[in-house]
Amino acid sequence: MRPIEDTYRHKGLRKKLVEVVRGKGITSEGVLNAIHAIPRHFFLDSAFDELAYEDRAFPIGEGQTISQPYTVAYQSQLLEIKKFEKILEIGTGSAYQAVVLAELGAQVYTIERQKKLFEANKGFAFLKKYPTIKFFYGDGYEGLPTFAPFDKVIITAAAPDIPQKLIDQLKTGGMMVIPVGAGEVQQMKRITKLENGALKEEVFDRFSFVPMIEGRKG
Ligand code: SAH
């Protein structure tokens, strides 16, 4: 069961979480405001009600996780979202990251390969508040050619390599934020598509994500 009440206690815990995330080096006020605004406990089973505001990843079923708030903030900050930008997210999971992007004013297109997780979001009433998020059941490796090009692409699962099809769906000047690595630990990278078609690669900190897997799972 999902909780539906957002109490003063939750709001207080959220304020503390914002300070924890800020303390770890996040400086974007927009991103910190989004974390402050979004009731993260809504995205978890009520069994996690007390824990939802710890800076940790938690299980959301099907062997998947809701990312750690610091990680969500880190990727969101690297994306440098501007209002009305069109963003492609790979790995909807709990939809928390998608809602952070929507709070930043983005138009979000998010893909999930696991049918059960995709269906769970259909029944998640809170998401009705965010008509700027479009949900897709599919293989993120294919992206969404019909809706391309995108201003930004965010991958929220560990990719062994940078998927070329997703680079193709980026606008010139667009950026992709992606944790790259086949092992337990990945390197966060930001790829910018330059005017001449070349790619600029910047390397950031190490993180640990669940793997990006090819194909859909019914
Ligand atoms: N953004 C999520 C993080 C979920 S964990 C959140 O905020 O909660 C990563 C998710 O990526 C999992 O749900 C997993 O099923 C999904 N995933 C892995 N490979 C994928 C692929 N090829 N296409 C789409 N989703 C994928």
67 labelled catalytic: yes
**Count of domains in the chain?**
1
Residue whose Cα lies nearest atom 10 of ligand 1: it is 91
CB 92 within 8 A of CB 67: no
pLDDT class of 62 with cuts at 50, 70, 90? confident
pLDDT class of 61 with cuts at 50, 70, 90? confident
- Phi and psi at residue 109, to the nearest 5°: -115, 110
pLDDT of residue 4: 85
Asked whether residue 216 is assigned to any structural domain, the reply reads: no
Which helix (H) or strand (E) covers residue 64, if one does? strand 64-66
Mean pLDDT score, 182-186:
94
Asked whether residue 2 is assigned to any structural domain, the reply reads: no
Domain that holds residue 149: 8-207
What DSSP state is assigned to residue 55? S
> pTM of the entire structure?
0.97
For ligand 1, is residue 124 a contact (CB within 6 Å)? Answer: no
More confident residue, 48 or 121: 121
**Cα 192 to the chain's mean position, in Å?**
18
Q: 63 CA to middle of ligand 1, Å?
A: 10
CB 149 within 8 A of CB 193: no
Count CB atoms within 10 A of the CB of residue 198.
8
Q: What 3-state DSSP class applies to 186? A: strand
Mean pLDDT score, 56-62:
91
pLDDT of residue 163: 98
Q: What is the mean pLDDT of the chain?
A: 96
For ligand 1, is residue 143 a contact (CB within 6 Å)? Answer: no
pLDDT of residue 206: 98
Q: 32 CA to middle of ligand 1, Å?
A: 23
Asked whether residue 217 is assigned to any structural domain, the reply reads: no
Per-residue pLDDT tens for 89-120?
999 999 999 999 999 999 999 999 999 999 99
pLDDT of residue 50: 78
**CATH number of the CATH domain containing 101:** 3.40.50.150
Asked whether residue 177 is assigned to any structural domain, the reply reads: yes
> Which atom from ligand 1 is nearest to the alpha carbon of 100?
7
Residue whose Cα lies nearest atom 16 of ligand 1: it is 91
pLDDT at residue 1 greater than cutoff 90: no
pLDDT class of 41 with cuts at 50, 70, 90? very high
Q: What 3-state DSSP class applies to 136? A: strand
Asked whether residue 185 is assigned to any structural domain, the reply reads: yes
CB 44 within 8 A of CB 93: no
Asked whether residue 96 is assigned to any structural domain, the reply reads: yes
For ligand 1, is residue 93 a contact (CB within 6 Å)? Answer: yes
Contacts of 37 (CB under 8 A, 6+ apart): 103
Asked whether residue 132 is assigned to any structural domain, the reply reads: yes
Asked whether residue 213 is assigned to any structural domain, the reply reads: no
Round to whole Å and give the CA distance between 165 and 146.
13
* List 28, 67, 76, 94, catalytic entry: 67
The identity of residue 144, as a single letter, is L
